[in-house]
Structure 1
Amino acid sequence: MKTSLLRRGVAAIALLVTTSLTLSACLYSQIPKGAGEIYQNVPASTEGVPENLVPFYTQELDWKICNTTFQCTTVEVPLDYAHPEERTIELSVIRSVAMGKRQGSLLTNPGGPGASGVALIRDSLSFAVGKPLRENYDIIGFDPRGVGESTAVSCLSGTEKDAFLYDPYTGALGSDERRTEMDARGQAFADACAENSDGLLPYITTVNAANDLDILRGVLGDEKLNYLGYSYGTFLGASYAQQFPQRAGRLVLDGAIDPSVSGTDVGLTQAAGFESALRAYMSDCITTRECPFTGDVDQALTDLSTLMHTVDASPLPTSDTRTLDGSSLMTAISAAMYNQDNWSYLTQALSGALEGDGSVAMSLADFYNGRVGPGEYEDNSTEAFTAYNCMDYPDEGDADSAAAEERLRAEAPTIADFWDGPNTCGSWPVAPTGVRAPIAAEGTGPIVVIGTTNDPATPYQWSVNLADQLAEGVLITRVGEGHTGYGKGNNCVDDAVESYLIDGTTPEDGLRCE
């Protein structure tokens, strides 16, 4: 068995819509009164910056009004930090200027890897950060290298991506024929990325993205980085702190990834996390009139597993020409697990599937994949997600496949047969350069880590582990369901985060927010 790597952890995925289911202001040359007034940042000091990188830290930004209330620009960074003079790429950046007394910039990352930080701020500003942070900071969103509106990884055409993500396999579940089909699909995806990404793939790594983050800090005029990272964004933030400890300011890492665990362990731990979240969903579902399952939780989950296998053997019609198989139903289930508010959509999807209609479930799968129409996707998150993971996680081969299979079935029995996917990284044209090791980030000052007790995508133990690894890690526990903790209606979490980022008040380590 080849266990799939990190299932996408994107904070903004919680936004299902009902139709489908301390720096002073002297760092700035002007003090804007509103979004309509463009101002130019004065770059921060370049002390300690290598001479060949100084031009990147001192570049002048060309800000323009975008989407009425925001300001946008691009920032040049080296493709290869070992040879910064050879080729540059662009990062797309958006900002919402501080509504009150500005303390500097707060950079944000929504996760993924591969989620668009520009889209997060442009489309979901109030979801990304609370009003107190918007009052005190310029809120900065950016698309990391390889992502979205930045110089981006490109792989399949939209039509080809439809086939990659949604076409049912012809081989039976668990058969050699199915495995051969999955491997071929992964190989074709990897080959397309190599052909269409213009030499980017070796440089789409979190280490490089962390270097980019420091250039962003510098050109925005901040002597230290203030940062709020969700999900994969915690790994990016922790990697930054490891590389630039003296430039790390106030960092909040919400829904943490443990940087020390292997790709196999990531996949298995996530499977257990989604199984736990699914059990919580089912425990709630069977108490409602709308729930299509009866009996106790164990019986209901057994019946759900039967449904998934039935759908895989005989895919269901949907509202378009596609059919819903077990893999797409698994994607739909995953999408709904990110936020408890989405459980009602899953109930609708499963009720429809039991009645022979896969339409609502397919809508959930489309939302997860960013599909907005036939062959049309809102971003390249699938491509960028794969590119980062294939470079960040060392190849482990199949040495522990039997043990992994046993653990998967023991800890995630409902979804075990549908957790695996195309082994794209096994076919990746570039050898991975990432290492898996604890991050201590000595010399940073306090770093706040938030973990949610039944987070499916980034299980709580990872936040505990990262807070323990960091030399000055401070753990906040949100007791509850769903992915990430800040901005989820828990005043205890929100107040602690905002007091830290605005006033520098470090929360009590071990703070537990019921």
Structure 2
Amino acid sequence: MPAQKRYLSLAACLLALTGLVACSSDSEPREERTGPVGPVPDGLDRYYGQTLDWGGCEPFSTSQSTQSALSGDGFECARLTVPLDYSDPEGTTITLGVLRQQASGDDRIGSLVLNPGGPGASGMTAAASIAPGVANQELGQRFDIVGFDPRGIGASEPAVTCLTAEERDEDRGDDSELDGSPQGVAATENQEREFAQRCAERTEHGDEMLAHLGTRDVVKDLDVLRSVLGDEKLNYLGYSYGTRIGYTYAEAFPGNVRSLVLDGALDPEQDIVESLVAQGEGFGKAFGEFAAWCAPREDCALGSDPVGATKAFQDLTRPLIENPVQVGDGRGLSYEDATTGTVQALYSEQLWSYLNTGLAELKQNNGSTLMGLADMYNERGNDGEYATTQDAFVAIRCVDDPRVTDKNKIRQAQARYAEVAPFLDPGTPASSARDACTFWPVPNTSEPHLPDVEGVPPALVISTTNDPATPYQAGVNLAKAMNGRLLTYEGNQHTVFLQGLKCVDDAGVDYLVDGTLPDEGKRC
């Protein structure tokens, strides 16, 4: 599959939050509400009643990208303490990084807590990117904008740690997992086993931490955060995998929900194999849209006939399996990096011109732009260091979903993926290699199912017709499962709310502020 080779799972559904503009909040400090708010599960009073020590955000920076995002004015950050294992609240504790921009108006409703997806992406960085743009609009006037780094992620401590920067560079440059021969499968599985072992050895608290990373535990943290923020009910905005956090919270704490906006949905009932194939179909359609956009251009790297774009792409990228193209910093653009960079660009039409440039460069044995796009996807900074997102992504997926160990099923899934996303077909026999989750040291703690949300207010589910990462139908299915309302956006991108489209933004803000759902069948 594109961009990731350690699991039979979804590619990381990262929300590209760009255009960060720092701004200051003019609101006066307000009196903080302290003490537990709302129902408190037995034995958790000290967590639900804690007071956050808000201060500057600079100490929470963990990478070049987060340093830039968290440096804006008007933000304050704190650490939330939660139990590592909720069945042992007197045992080991961990901390979560939290960022907020306080509501700028007097008629405050509460907090709007958001998560950008991944799993593994930083909610603090996402909130810092979104908050300035809404600070003086109704949403920012009525709500504190709050982002948190889920357990094991970003500024939360401890963070999941599996590979060093050097090891990840080496891993990205190694296309040996495409060898479907018995020897190749054995070698790939040895690498997967070693990866799982490194995660357990290098992550503080080892197996215990890995066992409690999943969405099951994240939603318990979210309820602690709700109480500590002083909110009787949760207002939540989840993008991509963040929709899973949203509907799982609603099932676990149905009486504690005020509003849920779920954008770019994961289908709660779909197993990991079907999710993989559905996502492959989404990327296949997105590539077709890119090819149709590119073909009329005089400089289209894939030629003037969109029908031939798939073969043209394959002809450019397949030789990289044996002969990577060197880039300026001494690294080589591998087949994995080329396809990862392509997938990154397919998340948004705003990146299509960069993809075309990268493919044109590749014709000239220049891999710079495609490598840059792949680095963007993998969150590699100019200093060569990586955010923890990719490590966390694997670790969370391995406990969130039942592992797939049937080699015939794996081989068939890889073959089906190549059929629905033929531009990503490497031209080699499908491999039956099992991924890192097969060798994970702890069992999964969740499995696909329709959430039981009786008594939960209707959610607003936003789904984009040509979303490459979370297909449109998943949003249709989730809206039905949540007894909610579907808002359709006709476009080519992954997630859309609060990204400047007035039709969508107005509908979402109306829902969050006063609970008004858009008309049935509303399209933007």
Alignment of 1:54-133 (within 5 A): 54-66=45-57, 67=71, 68-100=73-105, 101-126=107-132, 131-133=137-139
Residue 383 of structure 1, CA deviation: 1.0
Residues 1:255 and 1:382: Cα distance change in structure 2 (over 3 Å): same
- Percent of aligned pairs sharing the same letter: 38
Q: 1:484 to 1:94 in 2, by over 3 A?
A: same
Residue identity in the other structure for 2:108 = R
Measured against aligned partners, the alpha-carbon deviations of 1:411-457 in whole angstroms (never above 9, x if no partner) come to: 12111339989822122111212111112411111101110000011
In structure 1, how many angstroms separate the alpha carbons of the residues matched to 2:164 and 2:415? 37
1:374-398 Cα deviation digits (max 9, x unpaired): 5412x21011111110000101322
Whole-angstrom CA distance in 2 between matches of 1:271 and 1:43: 47
Q: Do the aligned residues in 2 keep the contact of 1:43 with 1:222 (CA within 8 Å)?
A: no
* Residue 40 of structure 2 is aligned to residue 40 of structure 1: no
CA contact (8 A) 1:43 1:220 kept: no
Code of the residue aligned with 1:387 in structure 2: it is A
For 1:256 and 1:307, the matched residues in 2 are separated by 33
Q: CA deviation at 1:321?
A: 1.0
- Counterpart in 2 of 1:451? 463
Q: Please give the residue correspondences for 1:41-440 in structure 2 after superposition, counting only pairs within 5 Å.
A: 41-47=33-39, 49-66=40-57, 67=71, 68-100=73-105, 101-126=107-132, 131-151=137-157, 152-164=159-171, 166-169=172-175, 173-199=179-205, 200-373=209-382, 375-377=384-386, 379-398=387-406, 399-417=408-426, 423-440=435-452
Structure 1 position 478, deviation (Å): 0.4
- The aligned counterpart of 1:15 is 18
Partners of 1:477 and 1:510 within 8 A in 2: yes
CA separation in 1, counterparts of 2:295 and 2:51? 58
Deviation at 1:42, TM superposition (A): 2.8
Q: Which region of structure 1 is more displaced relative to structure 2, 121-130 or 328-337? A: 121-130
Residues 307 and 367 of structure 1, relative CA distance in 2, 3 Å threshold: same
Superposed CA offset, 1:308-346 (max 9, x none) = 212222111111111111111111011111111110111
Contact 2:103 2:135 in 1 (8 A): no
Tell me by how many angstroms 1:8 deviates: 0.8
Contact conserved, 1:254 with 1:484, CA < 8 A, in 2?
yes
Match of 2:496 among 473, 476, 485: 485
Cα RMSD (Å): 2.4
What amino acid maps onto 1:372 in structure 2? G
CA distance in 1, matches of 2:136, 2:244: 22
Answer whether contact 1:40 1:63 (CA < 8 A) is retained. no
TM-score, with length taken from structure 1: 0.91
Comparing 380-389 with 422-431, greater Cα deviation is found at: 422-431
Which residue number in structure 2 is paired with residue 4 of structure 1? 8
Q: Report which stretch shifted further, 303-312 or 450-459.
A: 303-312
Which residue pairs with 2:479 in the alignment? Answer: 467
- Alignment partner, residue 497 of structure 1: 508
Q: Residue type of the partner of 1:343?
A: W
Please say if residues 114 and 236 of structure 2, whose CA atoms lie closer than 8 Å, have aligned partners that are also in contact. Answer: yes
Q: Secondary structure at the match of 1:345?
A: helix
| 1:462–1:85 CA distance, 2 compared to 1 (3 A) | same
Secondary structure of the 2:56 match is strand
Helix, strand or coil at the partner of 1:414: helix
Partner-residue secondary structure (3-state), 2:218: helix
2:500, 2:241 → 1: CA distance? 22
**SS of aligned partner of 1:508:** coil
Helix, strand or coil for the counterpart of 2:44?
helix
Report the CA distance between 1:38 and its aligned residue: 6.8
CA gap 1:273/1:136 in 2 versus in 1, 3 angstroms: same
Inter-CA distance 298–183: structure 2 relative to 1 (3 Å threshold): farther
Deviation at 1:143? 0.2
Partner of 1:29: none
* 1:28 aligned residue: none
Deviation at 1:44, TM superposition (A): 4.9
Gaps in structure 2 of 5+ consecutive residues? 58-70
* Distance change (3 Å), C-alpha of 1:214 and 1:502: same
Q: Distance in 1 between matches of 2:135 and 2:191?
A: 38
Query: Counterpart amino acid of 2:170?
Result: A
Deviation, structure 1 residue 130: 8.8
Q: Decide whether aligned partners of structure 1 residues 375 and 490 sit closer, same or farther in structure 2, where only a CA change above 3 A counts.
A: closer
User: What SS is found at the alignment partner of 1:321?
Assistant: coil
The amino acid that maps onto 1:268 is V
Q: Structure 1: which 5+ residue stretches go unaligned?
A: 18-31
Q: Which amino acid is 1:253 matched to?
A: L
Gap change, CA 1:448 and 1:171, over 3 Å in 2: closer
How far does the alpha carbon of each residue in 1:471-492 deviate from its partner, in whole angstroms, 9 at most, with x for none? x211111011010121344322
Opposite residue 382 of structure 1, the aligned amino acid is: Q
Q: Is the 8 A contact 1:145 1:204 kept in 2?
A: yes
What secondary structure does 1:401 align onto? helix
Aligned counterparts of 2:294 and 2:379: Cα–Cα separation in 1:
27
Corresponding residue pairs, total: 494
